[in-house]
Amino acid sequence: MRQPRRILVTGGAGFIGSNFVHYWCKKYPGDRLLVLDALTYAGNRQNLADLEEVANLRFVQGNICDRALVDRLLQEEAIDTIAHFAAESHVDRSILAPANFIQTNLVGTFTLLEAFRQHWEMRGKREGDYPEGVTASHRFLQVSTDEVYGSLGANDPSFTETTAYAPNSPYSASKAGSDHLVRAYYRTYGLPTLTTHCSNNYGPYHFPEKLIPLMCIHILLGKPLPVYGDGSNIRDWLHVEDHCQALDLVLHQGRVGETYNIGGDNQVSNIDLVQTLCDVMDELAPDLPVRPARRLITFVKDRPGHDQRYALDIHKITSELGWSPTITFTAGLRQTAQWYLDHPDWWQPLLSARKTVIQ
């Protein structure tokens, strides 16, 4: 019988984190969820607005680098699981202000690991005798990115869990460093960790400076659709709901200390994605200010160090845990576009309060 978990979700007001909180509250209403989020530019309390009355959910505004706060929350809530989403994740911002990424992604992850190690050693190890001090329930889940692996050529095989790290931006380098810390805490201390690498996520509550929501909103406003370079860069796209289902399986069935790639098996060039999205929006929103929306596409100077292609081999999670993506890119893109059409009350305040940049 499954025992209820007490989960600290860092970055739980961000895009993937808030979708995870929605997913978990619906599937496991008996679990206790503590959301810790600094509510910087990408964190939005409105992402959790419809969960305000959930009895088993608590929100705390705070920084993962605040060791005293993290220690207190782990003790107060008797946390047995950390789902670590909190990160500076926008590549363009990492080029402009790399120090913020080092602080949050490296120092923040280190702070969480140290606090959780102490908490686990005092509380978790007493739960039973397991190999190398690993308990049946305590877990530290590091949610990472495919960008730590670097860039692929057109004919290169997809990244596997054993691909050597080769990060090319301050963002991906900071995430690579945090991954190494997680691995070290498992190998050195036996801390029960799990690491996942996901491809590009899309879906509801996605901050408007990322590619798909930016394009949706610009189409609705009749603004130019900026595409880096010639648009040939290729990404693998994963619907955030599929991602949450995969993380669920990893937390419950994944082997401690292991890494799992989570991809959508949807490799699409940026220009093909934008053109398809234009066609979808033309169909869903007949009163667009500019039609056809493809007229808005504008090619802009490429960003420094722009990786050409990402692709993840998901054989490991499929064979070990039985997971595979269920939402097709066509259906997911249409669903996402409709969400932005239906929720101007969500994205309009973000545009007025924050200057957006493209991914």
Can you tell me the distance from the alpha carbon of 324 to that of 189, in angstroms, rounded to the nearest whole number?
32
Q: Is 147 a catalytic residue?
A: yes
**CB–CB of 293/305 below 8 Å?**
no
Can you tell me the distance from the alpha carbon of 234 to that of 247, in angstroms, rounded to the nearest whole number?
24
Name the token pair of 287.
């009163």
| Measured CA distances, 282 to 14, 57, 157, 322, 337 (Å) | 29, 39, 35, 37, 11
Q: Is 130 a catalytic residue?
A: no
The strand pairing partners of 143, in sequence order, are: 196
- Considering 146, 161, 179, 236, which one is annotated as catalytic? 146
Q: Give 88-134 as a DSSP string.
A: ---HHHHHH-HHHHIIIIIIHHHHHHHHHHHHHHHHGGGG---GGG-
Q: Which of 334, 147, 321 is nearest to 249 (CA)?
A: 321
- Considering 147, 179, 209, 265, which one is annotated as catalytic? 147
- Considering 171, 186, 205, 260, which one is annotated as catalytic? 171
Q: Is 66 a catalytic residue?
A: no
Q: Which residues are catalytic?
A: 146-147, 171
